[in-house]
Amino acid sequence: MNGLLFISIINLMKMKIDKTYKITLIGDGAVGKTSIRRSYLGETFKGNYSLTLGSDFATKILQVGDLNTNMIIWDLAGQPRFKAVREGFYRGTKGALLVFDVTRKDTYENIPRWIMELLNNNQKRKVPMILIGNKSDLRGSLYKTIPSEHGENYAKELSLWSGYDVPYIETSAKFGDNVDQPFETLIKQIIKADQMETITSYLQGEL
């Protein structure tokens, strides 16, 4: 084994993980969920579409303030045929990345369906969310794209509905543009929500 790799494994084993959070990446087939996850984890971009079968997952350790968090990222298959399989993966989700493709209007219009699927399979719990318009590199090309203001306005509506601040972020998984931001913003929001929940339980005398 390479010496450096060995040292980093030892360091990882010594690292104290304070919190583990499950997040889900959801949205229609081929919007770029897997590509965003890969890009965030530093993997190379694949131009050919290779659909996710059921689900895939990855983990990432993130230090937020003085907390070491382990983020478990569930990357769910967007194609309709995987609905039944997908439904088993939502439980315990603490936050969601809602992805649409800026070149495909139907993928934007389907976002509410994804939110309903998440709620219906996660004990109706509203969780922090980030709205992502992916494939921003295709703006200005031959494709007719969804204006950024649509995404921003819809994110505001989602904020009012959910009680969490839902940002709208445009990404290009192809070029790695903005891919870190959704994950890092989401984890901060989850930590905040978690702390609020603890305070509420304390005030209600449950702790």
Ligand X SMILES: Nc1nc2c(ncn2[C@@H]2O[C@H](COP(=O)(O)OP(=O)(O)OP(=O)(O)O)[C@@H](O)[C@H]2O)c(=O)[nH]1
Size of the site for ligand X (CB under 6 A): 23
CB of 73 to ligand X, least distance (A): 12
How far are the Cα atoms of 59, 65, 67, 123 from residue 18, in angstroms, in the given order? 15, 12, 6, 25
Amino acid at 128: P
Q: State the binding partner of 49 from ligand X, Mg ion, none, CB within 5 to 8 A by kind.
A: ligand X
The residue range among 72-80, 86-94, 143-151, 186-194 that interacts with ligand X, by the rule CB under 6 A, is: 72-80
Calculate the CA 63 to chain-centre distance.
17
Amino acid at 160: L
Identity of the residue, 52 or 122, whose beta carbon is nearer to ligand X in the bound complex: 52
* Residue 77 touches ligand X, criterion: CB under 6 A: yes
Identity of the residue, 36 or 187, whose beta carbon is nearer to Mg ion in the bound complex: 36
CB of 57 to ligand X, least distance (A): 13
How far are the Cα atoms of 182, 188, 192 from residue 64, in angstroms, in the given order? 14, 7, 11
Q: What residues between 135 and 174 interact with ligand X by CB under 6 A?
A: 135, 137-138, 172-174
Of the residues 26, 28, 34, 154, which one makes contact with Mg ion according to CB under 5 A? 34
Supply 195's token pair. 């702390």
Closest-CA residue to 79 (of 146, 129, 33): 33
Contact 21, 187 (CB under 8 A): yes
Identify any residues that bridge with 60 across adjacent strands, giving them in sequence order.
71
Which residues form the interface with ligand X (CB under 6 A)? Answer: 29-35, 46-49, 51-52, 77-79, 134-135, 137-138, 172-174
